Amino acid sequence: MADTSAAGGAAAPDGKQVSAAIPISVTPAVPAELNPPYTPGPPAKGGAPNATPEQAAAFAWQEFIALNWPAGPQGGQPGQREAPSSTCAFGNPNCTVPTVWETFRGKVETFPGNGNPPPGYVQNASRSYGYDALPQYNYGVPVAACDPAQANDPVPWVNLDETDQITLDNMYAGVVAAGSSPGNSSPQLIRFLAKSNRAQYVYVASNSDPKNPLNQWWSAIPPSVVTATKNYLSAKQASPPPGSTSMVSQYNGTIEVKAAWRPLNPSELASGRFHVQTVRFYEKASSGGFCYRDAKWGLVALHIIQKTLSAPYFIYATFEQADNLLTPTGLPIEDADGRVIRSALAAPTTPQVCLVDPKPASSGSANETPSALGTVILTGNRATCQPASSQAYCAAPRSQLFYRNAAFPPTNNAPSAGNICVNRRANNIPAEVIDANAQAHAAIAAYLRSRSITSAPWLAYKLVNVQYYPYDKVITTQTPNGSLYNGQPPYTARHPSPASYYQANIVVETNRSLQLFSGGLSPNISTDWNQDGTQHKNSYYAGGHFNMGGCMGCHGSQGQNPQGQAGDFSVILARGAVVVPETPSIETQQGLTEVRRNRKLSK
């Protein structure tokens, strides 16, 4: 089924010629390493630390193609999950099976909320521990169908049990018509899921004893293991050996995905530009608990992170559907490759927002707790970051993306009394990523033609960026707008572009704390400072401690070494049991109402 020919020199779907710098192939094989072969050294050769941005972009696309390959038959038998189909071609509209990544285990399938072992768990000679069982979503309380007619429907592979962006804000697509999602209390709300592959499930299951409630990693990492991990990180400033049983360090080859989905308008559904799948989403039941609904929705974003031998900090790739960024009248800001084709407003958002991140006075004692002095304000001038005397919220988003910051405890310290519309990215997609998108689209188009497939939605998805090496942002000057990193070309693994350092997906990391994340979150505002006035670092690697930005920095802050937890850059592993599914917040003039979350951020 694979087409291993290079895309170089071929015509892209828009007729433009594209470069042959890094070949991209349509194949179901997930790449195991960036820039192979890798030898640790010293000096290290190959691998992520020595890769170019172009190589990293091609690696990300090979992951995307392989993980979105149609999966083989799913009957709960060993070896069936995450196995690509041998009969369905990539992009074949007649193959309505789940994709490979959709057959990964959802986080509640590995970390059930009811205190029992994961569904299907069994100790067996093959050491699969029942990974391939068909999906079940077991929360702390049973969840019934909102509509009794759906009670006996097959359990969908796409389980949208997150309604917010890591508790900081809710994201909405103004383009969604109110009638596009029956039974949905917030039809424009974008909802999320997190899944992980066999490697993570086996690591968690093999380190758990179903007979010992104090040693069940699917509920929580034991305190002794957390302590041992933190001591190792502090002493070695590097990840423990992969596969460790006494400390948290996952196997190489561990993959996690996070995906964003929303209802589609009839015209969008008919366009063929969205990957569509049956999803499960959650609402509050009339009894006061939770209930679920199943519906056909569209994929609007996909994060892929993978741990490799050369990248124990994981490689972070993020993709979007091409129609996310729209003007108020519904015109695209970028083309399918990521080129800006229509001028947007000067400010990334309306109203303009700005981070005030003052350096605390030195206390003379070491303290790695992030400063709580930061705040995000409405401003008329992002350069000076002075509060606006009067600046209205975005009252009529129309077709635009928009978000609402959370106002409930812990205090968000961000403007939360109205909508904030998204005009453009804080950092445009880099040129090498745009080139990789053109090459990938050309390769996919050629593959489809060779199989007489007219089109496929994957031509309307684009790589936004990929992070593949930690960078330490050193603050030399203090500015009111968060001491932004502004590296200049030429860019390398050890010297990323600002867009790469702050890697962010426009529908997954949208508010100011996430679009330009670095340092830590305290309480829910990004800050580059510790309470003692030192610079906050969030990621350990190879004997160094880094103030990394974007996805990698956030996973370091919330996954590798959060307070009281350990997760080896995995937030879902660090957080453990998923007790409840999330339901929509209610919008008020004072902000969003608080709903019960299935995880909490550390400060």
At 324, the amino acid letter reads: N
Mean pLDDT across the stretch 44-70? 97
Please, what sign has the CA dihedral across residues 87, 91, 92, 94?
positive
Helices (H), 247-383: 266-271
350: which DSSP letter? E
At 34, the amino acid letter reads: L
What whole-number distance in Å separates Cα of residue 521 and Cα of residue 572? 17
Q: What residues contact residue 12 under an 8 Å CB cut-off, 6+ apart?
A: 18, 337, 438, 439, 441, 442, 445
What whole-number distance in Å separates Cα of residue 312 and Cα of residue 30? 17
Mean pLDDT score of the chain: 92
Torsion of CA 568, 574, 578, 581, to 10 degrees: -80
- The DSSP annotation for 371-396 comes to PS--EEEEEEETTTTEEPSS----S-
pLDDT at 479: 79
Confidence band of 407 (pLDDT split at 50, 70, 90)? confident
Nearest to 325 by CA among 334, 316, 337: 334
pLDDT digits (tens, 9 = 90+) for 510-557: 899 999 999 999 888 999 999 999 999 999 999 999 999 999 999 999
How many percent of the chain have pLDDT more than 70?
95
Torsion of CA 274, 276, 281, 286, to 10 degrees: 100
Mean pLDDT across the stretch 78-105? 97
Q: Which two tokens stand for residue 518?
A: 């670095």
pLDDT at 6: 40
Q: What residues contact residue 87 under an 8 Å CB cut-off, 6+ apart?
A: none
Mean pLDDT across the stretch 88-93? 96
pLDDT score of 3 more than 70: no
pLDDT digits (tens, 9 = 90+) for 311-348: 999 999 999 999 999 999 999 999 999 999 998 778 99
240 neighbors 247 (Cβ within 8 angstroms): yes
Show the 3-state SS of 8-35. Answer: CCCECCCCCECCCCCCCCECCCCCCCCC
CA distances from 585 to 7, 37, 163, 276 (A): 45, 48, 8, 25
How many percent of the chain have pLDDT more than 90?
82
> How many helices (DSSP H) and strands (DSSP E) are in the chain?
10, 22
pLDDT score of 13 more than 70: no
pLDDT at 298: 98
pLDDT digits (tens, 9 = 90+) for 472-514: 998 877 777 778 999 999 999 999 999 999 999 999 998 999 9
pLDDT score of 351 more than 70: yes
Residue 110's Cβ-side half-sphere holds a number of Cα atoms within 13 Å equal to 31
Q: Ranked by mean pLDDT, which of 240-249, 383-392, 471-480 comes out on top?
A: 240-249
pLDDT at 383: 84
- Cα angle 45, 51, 57 (rounded to 5 degrees) comes to 150
Nearest to 446 by CA among 1, 7, 4: 7
8 neighbors 18 (Cβ within 8 angstroms): yes
The whole model's pTM is what?
Answer: 0.95
pLDDT at 324: 98
Mean pLDDT across the stretch 556-566? 93
Confidence band of 366 (pLDDT split at 50, 70, 90)? confident
* Residue that is written with structure tokens 């600046």 in the block: 391
How buried is residue 124: exposed, middle or buried, by Cβ count under 10 Å (0-12/13-18/19+)?
A: exposed
Beta strands in 236-323 (DSSP E): 255-262, 276-284, 290-306, 315-321
The residues with which 320 forms a beta bridge, in sequence order, are 301, 462
183 neighbors 292 (Cβ within 8 angstroms): no
pLDDT digits (tens, 9 = 90+) for 255-314: 999 999 999 999 999 999 999 999 999 999 988 899 999 999 999 999 999 999 999 999
pLDDT at 17: 42
pLDDT digits (tens, 9 = 90+) for 197-225: 999 999 999 999 999 999 999 999 999 99
What whole-number distance in Å separates Cα of residue 78 and Cα of residue 80? 6
pLDDT at 559: 94
What whole-number distance in Å separates Cα of residue 559 and Cα of residue 566? 6
pLDDT score of 574 more than 80: yes
What whole-number distance in Å separates Cα of residue 355 and Cα of residue 382? 9
What whole-number distance in Å separates Cα of residue 553 and Cα of residue 549? 4
Residue count of the chain = 603
Confidence band of 19 (pLDDT split at 50, 70, 90)? very low
pLDDT at 8: 41
Torsion of CA 421, 425, 426, 431, to 10 degrees: -170
pLDDT at 601: 55
Confidence band of 5 (pLDDT split at 50, 70, 90)? very low
pLDDT at 14: 45
What whole-number distance in Å separates Cα of residue 575 and Cα of residue 206? 18
226 neighbors 566 (Cβ within 8 angstroms): yes
Mean pLDDT across the stretch 109-122? 96
At 359, the amino acid letter reads: K
